[in-house]
Structure 1
Amino acid sequence: MDSARVLSTVSSNRKIDPVRRGGGFKADGSLNDNDRVEIGPTGLAFGEWDALGLTPPTLSRMREYRLQRIVGELQKRDLAGVLLFDPLNIRYATDTTNMQLWITHNHARACFVSAAGHVILWDFHNCEHLSAHLPLVKEVRGGAAFFYFETGNRTEEHAAKFAAEVQSVLQEHAGSNKRLAVDKIEMAGFTQLQRLGIEIADGQEVMELARAVKNEDEINAMRCSIASTEIAMKLMQQASVPGVTENDIWSILHAENIRRGGEWIECRILSSGPRTNPWFQECGPRVVQEGELLAFDSDLIGPYGICADISRTWLIGERAPTAEQKALYRTAYEHIRHNMSILKPGMSFREVTEAGLLLPESYRAQRYGVMMHGVGLCDEYPCIRYPEDLEDHGYDGVLEPGMTLCVEAYVGAVGGREGVKLEDQVLITDTGVENLTSYPFEAALLDA
């Protein structure tokens, strides 16, 4: 190991004294000290979860479980380790965060996990303190940034230096095994690793499969994130009155997420009236009107970095819904309810597709991209396709207990005035499925 590159070791990860202010610990096991460096839920969130009877995750246990999931996937494939640049994969492996959105498009952080569970984090410069509370991170280094903005015409030089360091790490922790999984890496780094004779495998496969099955703590974290999101959704719905803009309504979701210790939102898919068809229009300055539909997809990264991916559609104002609005809504509702009801462990993805409810012909052209997808730190493996898309885009796998899925539908006819988006988040259990979502559907739109 190049000691000059090691900024902190396991001993420095003990520098945060859990009793330094006598505050003890919060319900998730984190230090009860609001000066701590880690981000996390606020007192507001903890209070609301307690009132709802929710149990927060035990963070130390969740972190250890995630590490062992990665180790298990590495050992199955006889890989020396995995090298990670995707900030969500780094979050899964280490539970560290650092400017997550910025790092998504500026790969200045990396993480190595060996097949024996040794974790090395390359962090942004002068950021070793951000992981000092995490004993699973054994070393913190710098020097993983070799993208053009950062390194310019010296990119190859910096990439070669980093690759040589990775080679040294492999020799120390894997001996003669040069089989390294990598998720996402700048082209210069990929080339330099190959030049050193390192055999590169698919790190995304390793990480997606590791992340797919959640333990009790991850599920508890998800319950908490969903609960906070649904509280924010209620405030959004209360503010959805004629005369406000789509942006006014969407801003509530952002603000309430942050108030509870949530982290960011992946997109801004909210639209009203004629902008609900076709789907995927993001919110803007349009003023919502009496009697029209408003639809959105939360795509929210809440407390603990857990995704709450819920879609709802509701009516603006007090006017009774039209027959067309009811037909759209009932179709979407029946679609997701049926597709949830068929789920059970042991089903293949193809079997789920084949047992799923077909959309009426008039809505198929604008169907959503998937019938359902995995969810965890974000939208994750697997994608389960509609029958029409199975041949070109489908792949197979098997549902397992502990998988969490989002079951969704968009219903809108080509050329139609409006559309409806609905989505619930569910857990595959030992015997079937549990709906983790409790936000109510619209009785007025479901009435015959």
Structure 2
Amino acid sequence: MANFDWHAERSDLNGLALLDRSPESEGIDLSAVRLYRLGQVRKEMAKRNIDAVILSDPINIRYATGARNMQIFCQRNAPSRYLLLTANRSILFEFTGCEHLAEGFETIDEVRASKTASYVAAGPLIAEREKAWAQEMNALIVELTRKHATVGLERLNAGTAIALKELGLRIVDAQEPVERARAIKSEEEMKCVRASLRATEVGVQRLREALRPGLTENELWSVLHQAVIEQNGDYIETRLLSAGERTNPWFQETAHNVIGENELVALDTDVVGCHGYYADFSRTFHAGPDKPTELQRTLYKVAYEQVHHNMEILRPGMTFAEYADEAWNIPEKYYKNRYYLSAHGVGLTGEYPYLYHHGDFPNAGYNGVLLPGMTICVESYIGEDGGREGVKLEQQVLIREDGIELLSRFPFEEELLK
């Protein structure tokens, strides 16, 4: 671990210094990570002739700058902090009183106090607030780029977007350039992904060791939470741990349900962990004390087969349509309760692309190409319609020039694979 002088000047103890010097940052050039990501966004903007983007999603602000502040709060209270990004200027409008949190980032040229244009902040004066916000932003965009600039927006309230358009800006969606930027990871960025996964695996191991009949789902789930926060992770994005009959169908949120003897316990991590990177893998355990039933083993082995077949077909240059054609065919009795995706991209959170099952591709799918640098989560949920239990498994991988690299290393359950 790098030495850290806790008696240093107070100015060294800002958010950036602590993040860059924390134990999970050892051996990672976080400045290079931040500059790469900023360059990715600008590259994708240039491809689409976008003069500026206004980012309000805290995940995307963090991607483009590295700056983190009250991510969940800001997702709910947008736009309470936002980033104006052009080809050569990056201005972060930080939440009131928090400007100091963005000091020192090489990705931010200027920090200003934000002006929240929301009903909560402005009440019945919201329309006036939106117009004033838009006028100020338009003047700044014209100063930095040109009149009638093309501006990408995301997650802004409708009145603000309408006001910007009425001022003569050409409004486009910022989602495409940002998602395409995020999809390709650098080698240095992958160190952050691996650090987040290793920390999350520590938490899942503690959860696995704590599992016993008589615990509530909430009690067991809290073990993972404690481990994530203890290791400087951020939060868990969903509540997906369930036991027994609550494992079928999937997506039943963790509750005060008591785990019974010999029940299956299924977990999807969905951890926004170290450096803000998503550690996303799924496992299903057996509560004991007896051995798993034949039906429980069958469900587990079928899910295991699906995940590993679909991992094995992944390759750089593969189209999304080719993936759908070659992916594992889900047996009819499990088809209705299938997971809604076959695989998906992952980075700071779940992201582009979505890869669909063969049967869903005609109506829901879209085409594209798997590229080196994409990180992909391969999914399986196996549970019969009307069945008592189900199994959730998932692996996280990296697409490389020569194939794939397995990123998630937590072991599977040997007792359930027999």
Q: TM-score, normalised to structure 2's length?
A: 0.95
| Alignment of 1:174 onto 2:153 | no
CA distance in 1 between counterparts of 2:301 and 2:20 reads 36
Question: What amino acid is the match of 2:36?
Answer: Y
Q: Equivalent residues in 2 for 1:274-293 (5 A)?
A: 274-293=245-264
**Equivalent residue, structure 2, for 1:126:** 97
**Which string of whole-angstrom CA distances, capped at 9 and with x for unpartnered residues, describes residues 22-69 of structure 1?**
869xxxxxx996x333463896x54xx9xxxxx643110001000110
Q: Secondary structure at the match of 1:137?
A: coil
The residue correspondences of 1:145-164 to structure 2 (distance < 5 A) are: 145-164=116-135
CA distance in 1, matches of 2:416, 2:351: 31
Aligned residue for 1:92, secondary structure, equals helix
- What displacement does 1:221 show? 0.2
Give the deviation of 1:99 after TM superposition.
0.8
Q: 3-state DSSP class of the match of 2:370?
A: coil
Shift of 1:369: 0.7
| 1:359 shift after superposition | 1.1
Cα displacement string for residues 172-220 of structure 1 (whole angstroms, at most 9, x for unaligned residues): 2212451001122111111110110111111011110110000012111
Please say if residues 307 and 380 of structure 2, whose CA atoms lie closer than 8 Å, have aligned partners that are also in contact. Answer: yes
Letter matched to residue 158 of structure 2: M
Partner of 1:4: none
Q: After TM superposition, list the pairs within 5 Å mapping 1:407-426 onto structure 2.
A: 407-426=378-397
SS in 2 for 1:395: coil
Show structure 1 runs of 5+ residues with no match.
Answer: 1-18, 25-30, 50-54
Amino acid at match of 2:216: T
Q: Give yes or no for the alignment of 1:252 onto 2:223.
A: yes
What's the offset of the Cα at 1:441?
A: 0.3
Q: Deviations over 1:78-112 (max 9, x none)?
A: 11111111111111111111111010010101101
CA distance in 2, matches of 1:352, 1:240: 36
Residue 54 of structure 2 is matched in structure 1 by: 83
**Corresponding letter in the other structure for 2:417:** L
Deviates more, 1:158-167 or 1:71-80: 158-167
- 1:115: how far off? 2.3
In 2, are the aligned partners of 1:295 and 1:314 still within 8 Å (CA)?
yes
Counterpart of 1:244 in 2: which secondary structure? coil
Partner of 2:355: 384
Separation of aligned partners in 2, 1:191 and 1:171: 17
Shift of 1:243: 1.2
- 1:115 partnered with 2:115: no
Q: What is the CA–CA distance in structure 2 between the aligned matches of 1:428 and 1:342, rounded to whole Å? A: 11
Cα distance, 1:318 vs. partner?
Answer: 2.9
Distance 1:37-1:232 versus aligned 2 partners, 3 A rule: same
Instruction: Select 2:374's aligned residue among 403, 407, 426.
Output: 403
- Which residue is 1:37 aligned to? 15
- Structure 1 moving runs of 4+ over 6 Å: 19-24
Aligned counterparts of 1:345 and 1:173: Cα–Cα separation in 2: 39
**Matches of 1:441 and 1:32, distance apart in 2:** 46
Shift of the 32–109 alpha-carbon distance from structure 1 to 2, 3 Å rule, reads closer
Q: 1:161: Cα distance to partner?
A: 1.8
Task: Give, in whole Å, the separation in 1 of the partners of 2:147 and 2:116.
Answer: 27
Q: Which residue of 2 aligns with 1:428?
A: 399
Q: AA paired with 2:130?
A: A
Distance 1:219 1:194 in 2: 39
Cα drift, residue 144 of structure 1: 3.6
Change (3 A) 1:132 1:195: same
Q: When the two structures are superposed, what TM-score results if normalisation uses the length of structure 1?
A: 0.89
Question: In 2, Cα distance between the equivalents of 1:222 and 1:303?
Answer: 8
Give me the CA root mean square deviation.
Answer: 2.0
User: Displacement of 1:290 after TM fit?
Assistant: 1.7
2:240 counterpart (269, 294, 308): 269
1:373 aligned counterpart, secondary structure: strand
For structure 2, which runs of at least 5 residues remain unmatched after alignment? none
What amino acid is aligned across from residue 19 of structure 2 in structure 1? G
Aligned partner of residue 178 in structure 2, secondary structure: helix
Q: How does 1:20-419 map to 2 (within 5 A)?
A: 35-38=13-16, 40=19, 46=24, 56-107=27-78, 108-116=80-88, 118-176=89-147, 178-419=149-390
Identity %: 41
Contact 1:353 1:384 in 2 (8 A): yes
CA contact (8 A) 2:14 2:101 kept: no
Q: What is the count of residue pairs matched by the alignment?
A: 414
Q: What SS does structure 2 have at the residue aligned with 1:396? A: coil
Counterpart code for 1:155: I
Q: Deviations over 1:248-268 (max 9, x none)?
A: 110011110000000011111
Q: Name the structure 2 match of 1:9.
A: none
Q: Quote the Cα distance in structure 2 between the aligned partners of 1:42 and 1:415.
A: 51
In structure 1, distance between residues paired with 2:222 and 2:283: 16
